[in-house]
Amino acid sequence: MKNKVSLILVVLLALTLMYCGSKKSETPAEDYGTPDESAAPVQAVDVIAQGEALVKASDCKTCHHLTNKLIGPSHTDIAKKYEFTAANVTYLAQKIVEGGTGVWGEIPMSPHADLSQIDAEKMARYVLSLDGEKEH
């Protein structure tokens, strides 16, 4: 009798484990959904988040505030001045790497020659996203 009870308990336990196991294995399939629809926007957000991390890790904050003018224009004012286009990403990335003057006043922006073009473009995309505009 005692053996029968423990046998039933073991079977119940095994069934529970199997049920939980099968539930778990269903989850990834549900989470991934349709890849072609979700891939593009997620990647765009990633690039902007990477740009933000790069800007925060660099010396930009010595001269740029998110919303207030310091030595340089605020990054939000820069976003408002430029449309979020591929051409402006390239232009601003080049300006971040090479530095320059004459667009916002006579104070020069220092060059950042150690930055790769790819990282500078991520920073430019982050700055251009600050007024809520999407790349187009």
Within positions 45 to 104, which residues make up the interface with ligand HEC, using CB under 6 A? 55, 58-60, 62-64, 71-73, 78, 92, 95-96, 100-104
What is the CB neighbour count within 10 angstroms for residue 118? 10
**Length of the chain in residues, anyone?**
136
Minimum Å distance from CB 25 to ligand HEC?
Answer: 45
- For tokens 């073009």, the residue is 117
- Using alpha carbons, list the distances in angstroms from residue 116 to 87, 98, 112, 120: 17, 11, 9, 6
Tokens at 14, concatenated: 């095994």
125 binds ligand HEC (CB under 6 A): no
Minimum Å distance from CB 76 to ligand HEC?
Answer: 11
Window 13-52: contact mask with ligand HEC (x via CB under 6 A): ----------------------------------------
The CA-CA-CA angle for residues 86, 124, 82, to 5°, reads: 65
Question: What is the binding site for ligand HEC (CB under 6 A)?
Answer: 55, 58-60, 62-64, 71-73, 78, 92, 95-96, 100-105, 107, 109-110, 112, 123, 127
